[in-house]
Structure 1
C-alpha cells in the first residue's frame, strides 16, 4: 500500500512538499536514490533492479527550468496484455524528464493500472489509468493523499480486498489529520545544509510512523508476513520539497528509524535525450 501525501501552498516559498512511502516485497532488490539513468542524467531516484525503473523520480531543476517530481503508485483493475506490457516504473522517469509525459503518445493499454503524481512548484496533478480509462486530476491548494485506491482512496477501480481497503482507509484517517495539524515545512526556504530534522520539523516524526506498531491496521510504516518467506512492508520513505527554482530530497531506507539522509542533487545535468514513450 504505497502512499503519497502532497501539501500544496502557492503562497509558500516551498509551494509543494511530498511525503511518499513505498511498500513492496522485501525480496525485490533496489538501489537508493542517485543518477542511475545515463539517458536521463538529470534525474535522481531509487532504481528498481527487477525492471530498471523507479517509484519516484526528481529533476532538481536549474538552467531556467523548475524542479519536477513524479511519484508512482500501483492501481487496481485489469492488467495489460503480457505480449505488450511495459513496466510502470518507466512512467516517473518520463514524467520528470524535460518536456514531461506526452499523453498524446502514451498508450496506457501497455501498462497495468496506476496513479502517477506529477508535481512542480506551480502545478500538481494525478494521472490515473484504471485499465479502461485514462484520467488526469489537477490538485487544488491544500493537503491531499494518494493511495493505491487513488486520490483520497476514491478511485473508480479499487481493491477487491476488504482488508486492504480498510487498511488504506485507516491509514488516511490516522495520518491525514496529523499532517494537516502539523506546522507545514518549508525546506527550500531554510539553509541549504540544514539537517533533516530542522528542514522538515513536525513532519519528521509523522513520516517515521507516529509510533504505530508495524502490524497496526493504520500503520504508515508496515510489515506483513504472508508466509513462505514472503515479507511485504515499507521499504523506504521519501520527503521531497519543490520550490520555484530549487528542490530538496530526504530519504530513509530503514523506515521507522532515524536513518535519514539528504540526497545530494548538485548542479543540474541537462539531458541529451528528449522525453519519449517506449515502444517495446
Structure 2
C-alpha cells in the first residue's frame, strides 16, 4: 500500500510539503510525471496506462495537488461494475464533477490547495464519505486513517519525518530500509509476502503554495529495493 507524508505549515502562505510513495504491481504500466492528458490542459501527473487515470495529479499554475491511495473495502457489486479510482485526483483538483464513489473500492484521497490547506477524504466501499482537514504539523497516511497507529510504518517513522527538514526527506526515506522491505514498518516495500503483488516503484516530492505547485519525480532502479533516488 502507498504511503504519503504531509507537512502543513502554521502560516498559510508557506508551502505545504509532501512525499508520496507509490506501491504498485510492476507489471502494470505507468507514465512518469508529465502532461499525459491532452484533454486536461495544464495538468500533470503519474498516469496509469491500464485505466488511463492518475495516481497523483497536479495543477501547477493553480497551486493544487491530489493523490489517491487504496484502502480496504469494496462495494457489493460484480467486478465489471466497479469503476477506477484514477479519476478521483482530477475531481480533487476541481476539474471534474464528483464521481459515483458507490461503485469504487476503498480509498484515501489527499487534496492540497496552496494557501488553503490539506484534507483527506476516505471511503471504505460502503457507508459515508469522511473528510478530515489536516491541522498544522507533519502527518502520515497509508491504508488506514491519518496518523493511524494501526499502520506500523506510521508508528515507526512519523516522528522522524516530523523532526527532519523537508530537504532531508528523500535521504530519510532511503534510511527506512533498515527494517527490510517485507516488514510491516517498511515504506519502501515488497508486499508479496503479505499476499499482494505490489512493490514500491516510485516517489514524488512536492511543495504547494498559493498559485504554484512544484512537483518532482523519481523511480526506483529495482521495484521494492531501496537505493538512491534522483528527483527531477
Match of 2:163 among 181, 202, 209: 181
* Aligned partner of 1:94 among 84, 87, 91: 91
Q: How many residues align?
A: 224
Deviation at 1:78, TM superposition (A): 2.7
Alpha-carbon separation, structure 2, partners of 1:24 and 1:69 = 20
Matches within 5 A, 1:230-249: 231-249=197-215
CA distance in 2, matches of 1:45, 1:242: 14
More displaced, 204-213 or 17-26?
204-213
Specify the structure having the higher radius of gyration (Cα): 1
Deviation for aligned residue 1:93: 2.0
Which segments of 5 or more consecutive residues in structure 1 lack a partner in the other structure?
A: 155-164, 186-199, 263-280
Q: CA deviation at 1:236?
A: 0.8
- Aligned equivalents of 1:129, 1:227: Cα separation in 2: 23
Q: TM-score, structure 1 length as denominator?
A: 0.73
Aligned pair in 2 of structure 1 residues 209, 20: CA closer, same or farther (>3 Å)? farther
Cα distance in structure 2, aligned partners of 1:172 and 1:146: 7
Q: Could you tell me how far 1:227 is from its partner in structure 2?
A: 11
Residue 80 and residue 28 in structure 1: after superposition, are their counterparts in 2 closer, same or farther (change >3 A)?
farther
- Offset at 1:24? 1.4
**What SS class does the counterpart of residue 260 from structure 1 fall into?**
coil
Q: Which residue of 2 aligns with 1:259?
A: 229
5 Å-filtered alignment, 1:182-197, equals: 182-183=164-165, 185=166
Counterparts of 2:76 and 2:44, CA distance in 1: 28
Post-superposition offset of 1:94: 2.3
CA distance in 1, matches of 2:123, 2:45: 23
SS of the residue 2:155 aligns to: helix
Secondary structure of 1:132's aligned partner: coil
**Contact residue 80 and residue 111 of structure 1 kept, 8 A:** no
Query: Shift of the alpha carbon at 1:233?
Result: 1.0
- Superposed CA RMSD in Å reads 2.3
Deviations 1:173-203 (A, max 9, x none): 12101111112x3xxxxxxxxxxxxxx2x21
Alignment CA distance shift 1:153-1:43 (3 Å): same
Equivalent position of 1:111 in the other structure = 104
Give the aligned partner of residue 193 of structure 1: none
Matched, 1:69 2:65: yes
Matched residue, 1:266? none
Retained in 2: the 8 A contact 1:72–1:89?
Answer: yes
Q: Quickly say closer, same or farther: Cα 1:109–1:70, change in 2 above 3 A.
A: same
- Per the normalisation by structure 2, the TM-score is 0.87
